[in-house]
Structure 1
Amino acid sequence: MTNGSILVLVVLACVYPFVLMLSTSVSDGAAAASGQIYLWPKGLNIETYKYILNNPRLGVASGMMNSLFYTVVGGLVAVTVTYMTAYSLSKKRLKGRNVIMMLFLFTWVFEAGIVPNYIIYHALGLVNSRLVMILPTAISTFLLIITKSFLDSLPGELEEAAFIDGANDWTIMWKVFFPVSKPIIATIAIFNAVLIWNQFLIPMIYLQDSKLQPITVVLYNLIINSSKGGTSFENIVVNGVQLLPQNLQAAAIFLAILPILFIYPFTQKYFTQGMLLGSIKG
């Protein structure tokens, strides 16, 4: 078997669960219950998506909107803060920059734990606040190191020429370095988008208000935690189409992964380029 054949098999093995999930979500419940769905949908319809998105009791629509808000706002904050910090630390004239970098590395290696974090977040007023999904992930030490390495690799003549023209640090950062940093910006953005969108433990602990919970916690309550008396899917008939929990669960899960599946192909080239450039200095 050739390497190409092996890669094709690996791709099919990775793609098949998503295709099966999509087919199950748009199939008639009777076909799903009888095990007739292997690849293509049976009794094609979109009633499952209409039902879960228009049913406020389930909270799927509000969970999706919350996740989108956290991802977009948190991503913008993370890109801005991470880039500004990395730019400052990349300048040799910044006094104490090595000490500051060591402090970042220390927090990366040693974590306080859930209980101390909860005490700090509670004291800062982040419990049951949307900010708990944005501020703690504003700077990732891993991404900070990659961004700093990328900025270190840029020619110093860019800054020198800008200084001669009378530009200050703020102007140089945003008008000289930022426009040529698209690969690393895309890397920060996609990393944080995936991190925030898939975040489960933080909202599970700190966001007890159901109106603030992202789609990950909503799915947990609907699919895993329903046995404890929470909200769950039921057998229903909508517009003559039978919908079973299998259909509704598949539709909810597919909605949760769809945004990441949609944006990643468009940012992959920048993501790969940013990782390579950020890992090589000089």
Structure 2
Amino acid sequence: MKRYLLPVIAVILMVLYFLPYLSWKNKKTLHLISLKPDEINSIVIKKEGTEYEFRKENTHWKMLKPIKWKADEEKIKRLLEALRETILETPVSDKDYQKFNIKDDGNFIQVSNGQTTQTVFIGKRGARYSLIYVKPEKDKRVYLVRARFADRLPAGENDFRDRSIFKTDPARIKAVFWKEGDKTYSLVRREDGWYGGKTRGKENTKVDSKKVKEYIDRVSDIEATGFLKDDKLPENAKKIGFIIITADRETTIELYKKENDFFLFNSGQAFRITSFVKDRLFREL
């Protein structure tokens, strides 16, 4: 009898040993959303009473609410990636939604590809701040998930706005001229390199190519450090200069100052910049 019993026990032990592995192999990973980031062309977010809406048009994202503006592409990308990476693995309840701050009129994120729309209701943080309660619209259960995607939601109406004041390919820039108070400086590209001088049209000093590259890289991608109310210059801000960038066309950006604050004005829009940004643009080489 023992001779037959031992092989049976051995088989049972082997099955028990491999069972967790087999179960893991067959377990299907459930993502918070099934749509992949590159499939999504519409996003609606409600957070703390403010609704945000973004739409992808011709490969570029635009903000439609609460302000109509070009969206920050990188922030959109990071949000969608974090959303897709979120896994549903810890269901905690299928009732008492209020307990987790899950409400029909509460915070949510909704994504769509035009055919499929997926909505996730967002609740309160878990005992660990790195976790958060969520409920997919078509699921009765509340889950505790990683809060990485929630950390990437808009922090305010200006958070996902593109901060570009001026942007172009550095190779397209042919000349830069600026004036700040009584100071002026001109930089122009010629066949044998870049030349600078204090007077436009009289650029006689050849400039080190490394210094030029660093400067042109900054000028080709000017970003605001903040936005202003209604995107207008503050009252009593004084114009103290301007910078003219010549690429495919000539662009003039005006420089304003009020007390210790600096602002750039381009295409009817005012932007806040720091003195550090200002000094990197309005400098001689």
TM-score by length of 1: 0.25
Higher strand share: 2
| Greater Rg over alpha carbons, structure | 2
Task: Please report the TM-score for the alignment, with normalisation by the length of structure 2.
Answer: 0.25
Higher helix residue share: 1
